[in-house]
Chain A
Amino acid sequence: MSGTHGTQTTAGPVLGDTPPEATSATGEAGDNAAGIEAVGRVARTVMPETGVIADPTQLRTYECDGLAHYRVTPALVVLPETTEQLAAVVKACADHGVPFVARGSGTGLSGGALPRADGVLVVTSRMRTIREIRRADQRAVVEPGVINLDVTRAATGEGYYYAPDPSSQQICSIGGNLAENSGGAHCLKYGFTSNHVLGTELVTPQGDLVQLGGLAPDSPGYDLLGTVVGSEGTLGIATTATVRLVRLPEEVRTLLVGFHSTDDAGAATSAIIGSGVLPAAIEMMDALAIEAAEAAVHCNYPDGAGAVLVIELDGAAAEVEHEYALVERFCQENGAFELRLAIDATERALIWRGRKSAFAAVGRISPDYIVQDGVIPRTALPEVLRAIAELSESSGVRVANVFHAGDGNLHPLVLFDGEKEGATEAAEQVSGAILDLCITHGGAITGEHGVGVDKAAYMPKMFTDDDLDTMQLVRCAFDPGNISNPGKVFPTPRLCGEVPGKRKKAHPLVEAGLADAF
């Protein structure tokens, strides 16, 4: 069993167990060996020996992130324990023209932390201190390697929690969340990482330390923080994050509602949102996804359901009471045949277990699968779901649908058996066609997993050359040497003019025909 993303047309390296071909996204092993050597020397002087990994076998441990079919062995891995150590390594990379890639827990699903064969992987997992829980200020200050759920655990005693909750929240890191602008089931009401990170201390790609934002909002000057969050590690490495803590709600009600079809469940979703109720979450799973979840975690979802909705309402008790009555009515009016209300934390956890296990659970019903991540306007949901069903039927490729229905963020799971001749290609084709559907319906190619190495080739379908060029102006301001996670997000790097003292001849990417000089 394995999970993969992507299509044959991605800019990323070639799928498979053999070492990938060197591309602009991965670099070539052995390139700039002297530079790597020099960075290694600096790293060994500023941090303990155990924090520097150069042994080929150990290096392979870091060859992929959550998108396991892309694998590249980094030239060097460092595990700094302090901001100063991390900054010194980045500075050394800048001095020697060595690319670096930041990695938190390595749970990303777009290959954003795929290492460079010619570069350094900077792992933040030893920077794991929650520095402050500032209840009076409703803020926490944490290091990048801190696990998402640990922020909530540290704040719960004070009556607070950290709202963004990606499904991987038990293992993913705040630094990774910041890089990817991670979402989660509850971002329908509470927003994404970008709405909850108020400040960061950033090591720029040139090794300088800058403070962006802080405890108070609206720092004077450009909102560089807003641009850094979600930039997928291409604008530097965050060494602290100042995050918003949200007051725990007075009441939470979690409902599991069974419908005969995704059309009915979609209509109920539209009715709820249209009425002005803003639930904390509305999640949908179709029959195939339910079947998988049952097989994996025995979540006991309603028998014979063509779709279920998981709806969570939270807030002041009197408001939740009122919203619950409305939600119940809209579900019944739209064909709900079973409605269960979790009455305690255990029941709530059981309802969520089916949903949160869904990605992994499809492994029970298919040897291989692609996790897709696309967004459509919520009103296009019925039409797009029908189109996905047609795609599935005409291609013979099964697709399970699990998604954040409230905000139109789809996670189709494209099932296949990689052992069968042509099956991988067929699945990748369906996966790509689903993204095309999202684009033609005015949506986005990724809602929360990021572009990374996986979808860089899709960016031109959503953005013009001028759009991408304009985004890369920011890149050039932060990283003129193009060493901070190069090859990710953008299909074609923009060269930012001469980097003082670095290159004497034409840029190798230009020579190779992989980039244009602007």
Chain B
Amino acid sequence: MTTISLDAARTALADACREVADATAADAVDGVPTALVARPGSTEETAAVLRAAAAQGLTVVPRGQGTKLGWGRPPESADVVLDLSRMDRVLDHAAGDLIVETQAGALLGDVQQTVGSAGQRLALDEPVPGGTVGGMLATNASGPGRVAVGTARDLLIGCTVVRADGVVAKAGGRVVKNVAGYDLGKLVIGSFGTLVVVTEAVFRLHPVPAARRFLTVPFGAPEDASALVQAVVHAQVVPAAVEVEERADGSGTVGVLLEGTPAGVEARTATARQLLGAGTEDAEQPPSGWGVLPWTEQAGSTGLKLTCALSGLAPVLTAARRAADEVGVQLTVRGSGGAGVLYAALAADAPVDAVAAVVARTRAVCTEHGGSLVVLDGPAAVKAGVDTWGPVPAIDLMRRVKEQFDPERRLAPGRFVGGI
């Protein structure tokens, strides 16, 4: 907080919101200290906080449970943390219509429990446990199940948002099929809190399958992993997930999830076992580490997200391994080979220039294969010394969108691509 008075800010926010507190060290956003925490209980109160912040010239960072607050770049400033954890209600589960309406601060786990009572699910994995609906939307978090059902953009059918100027707006609605107006929900997903504050969301749901089976098979080289993935995706076994894991020693496993009716899963398991070949095992429970982001298992490590066309899987795995070996950094990879979205961890003790080298070399290969590489999480020194988001096509257009929605750069400034 540079040009404004803390007292004035506190008074203004307290007029807008019942729960306002002085921040503690634990409220820092990715190492950036914050002064105040406002916990609005409604969309209206959120709007009032944002209006007060605008009047006082305060920067604002939205937060759910804070499980992914360290993703992206540290904000340039975070005067106020807008904590949505009080807005934690599942507002309406219309089971017959297969939709759920929730507040943004609702825990994803609570949403699943509510809809699960009717045999339904919000078909989104939770790669970092304990998070909220809003946090999942802000970071576009996804997991193994994206192969079959997709990601938040395929499931969000409506949202209520508050703009940086405090204006409340809705987009979409409560029906699955709807082409009236712009789909602002898609714009908001993965925007890291830099565009608007989401306060409510409506999702389409899916039935919970009666049966599921996890198949795993070891592979020796990236080309083998690619061959296994290709065999499964081009078959007609309709996989719910096709995972690839490559451990620090270079050994790896391909995992396939089949979901459906008991008889159907049984038959498809037999087909898939043949495709995957000798050494395939199957189980009703997920193998250890299934869907877990590799860097969350090693404190202080650097977390990367790598994407590529499916045919780029082997080249990307090879490039990452080679680059890591050359600078002597330990690398683990896990992710969706079936979707072309991988996550990697570089060990905590890796020097910054070594991380930068691995990022640059692997990014080039991801790009060559139609994808990208971003550094999602990592120690402050790494984030400071590495081009974390990398080159972004259409960045000028993105800046113009930001300029329209948040011309004063009030919301999480600097956290997103190109310093947005």
- Interface residues of chain A, those whose CB is within 8 Å of chain B, are 134-139, 159, 180-181, 183, 187, 191-192, 194-195, 204, 208, 210-212, 214-227, 229-231, 247-250, 270, 273-278, 315-319, 321-323, 375-379, 404, 407-409, 442-451, 455, 459, 462-464, 466-471, 473-478, 489, 496
Asked, given contacts A215-B371, A316-B260, A379-B97, whether A192 binds B177 with beta carbons under 8 Å apart, the answer is: yes
Q: Are B169 and A470 in contact (CB under 8 A)?
A: yes
Q: Would you list 18 pairs from A and B whose C-beta atoms are within 8 A, ordered by A residue?
A: A217-B339, A217-B341, A218-B140, A218-B305, A222-B195, A231-B182, A315-B238, A316-B237, A316-B267, A322-B264, A444-B177, A447-B175, A447-B179, A451-B179, A466-B169, A471-B181, A473-B404, A474-B184
Q: Are B404 and A477 in contact (CB under 8 A)?
A: yes
Verify if B394 is at the interface (C-beta below 8 Å from A). Answer: yes
Q: Which single member of B170, B207, B237, B268 contacts A467 (CB below 8 Å)?
A: B170
Verify if B77 is at the interface (C-beta below 8 Å from A). Answer: no
Kindly provide the distance from the CB of B371 to the nearest chain A CB, expressed in whole angstroms. Answer: 3
Q: Are A317 and B398 in contact (CB under 8 A)?
A: no
Q: Are A407 and B390 in contact (CB under 8 A)?
A: no
Q: Between A and B, how many residue pairs show CB distances below 8 Å?
A: 281
- Interface residues of chain B, those whose CB is within 8 Å of chain A, are 94-99, 119, 140, 142, 146, 150-151, 153-154, 161, 163, 167-171, 173-187, 189-191, 195, 206-210, 230, 233-238, 260-261, 263-264, 266-268, 305, 307-312, 339-341, 366, 369-372, 374, 389-390, 392-398, 400-405, 416-418
Chain A residue numbers with a CB within 8 Å of B340 are: 137, 215-217
Kindly provide the distance from the CB of A64 to the nearest chain B CB, expressed in whole angstroms. Answer: 20
Q: Are A187 and B392 in contact (CB under 8 A)?
A: no
Asked, given contacts A218-B341, A247-B233, A278-B207, whether A447 binds B177 with beta carbons under 8 Å apart, the answer is: yes
Kindly provide the distance from the CB of B338 to the nearest chain A CB, expressed in whole angstroms. Answer: 9
Kindly provide the distance from the CB of B183 to the nearest chain A CB, expressed in whole angstroms. Answer: 6
Kindly provide the distance from the CB of B305 to the nearest chain A CB, expressed in whole angstroms. Answer: 7
Q: Are B181 and A276 in contact (CB under 8 A)?
A: no
State in angstroms the CA–CA spacing of A463 and B173 once bound together: 10
Q: Are B401 and A474 in contact (CB under 8 A)?
A: yes
State in angstroms the CA–CA spacing of A141 and B387 once bound together: 30
Q: Are B390 and A212 in contact (CB under 8 A)?
A: no
Q: Which single member of A224, A274, A450 contacts B394 (CB below 8 Å)?
A: A224
Q: Are B182 and A220 in contact (CB under 8 A)?
A: no
Chain A residue numbers with a CB within 8 Å of B151 are: 217-218
Q: Are A276 and B236 in contact (CB under 8 A)?
A: no
Q: Are B94 and A377 in contact (CB under 8 A)?
A: yes
Question: Across the two chains, which residue of chain B brings its CB closest to A248?
Answer: B236
Q: Are A322 and B173 in contact (CB under 8 A)?
A: no
State in angstroms the CA–CA spacing of A195 and B161 once bound together: 23
State in angstroms the CA–CA spacing of A466 and B169 once bound together: 6
Chain B residue numbers with a CB within 8 Å of A247 are: 233-236, 238
Q: Are A444 and B186 in contact (CB under 8 A)?
A: no
State in angstroms the CA–CA spacing of A316 and B173 once bound together: 33
Q: Are B177 and A409 in contact (CB under 8 A)?
A: yes
Asked, given contacts A316-B264, A318-B267, whether A222 binds B401 with beta carbons under 8 Å apart, the answer is: yes
Asked, given contacts A444-B173, A470-B171, whether A223 binds B236 with beta carbons under 8 Å apart, the answer is: no
Chain A residue numbers with a CB within 8 Å of B99 are: 377
Kindly provide the distance from the CB of B397 to the nearest chain A CB, expressed in whole angstroms. Answer: 6
Q: Are A227 and B309 in contact (CB under 8 A)?
A: no
State in angstroms the CA–CA spacing of A219 and B96 once bound together: 34
Q: Are A318 and B371 in contact (CB under 8 A)?
A: no
State in angstroms the CA–CA spacing of A276 and B207 once bound together: 5
State in angstroms the CA–CA spacing of A222 and B389 once bound together: 12
State in angstroms the CA–CA spacing of A215 and B371 once bound together: 7
State in angstroms the CA–CA spacing of A455 and B179 once bound together: 11
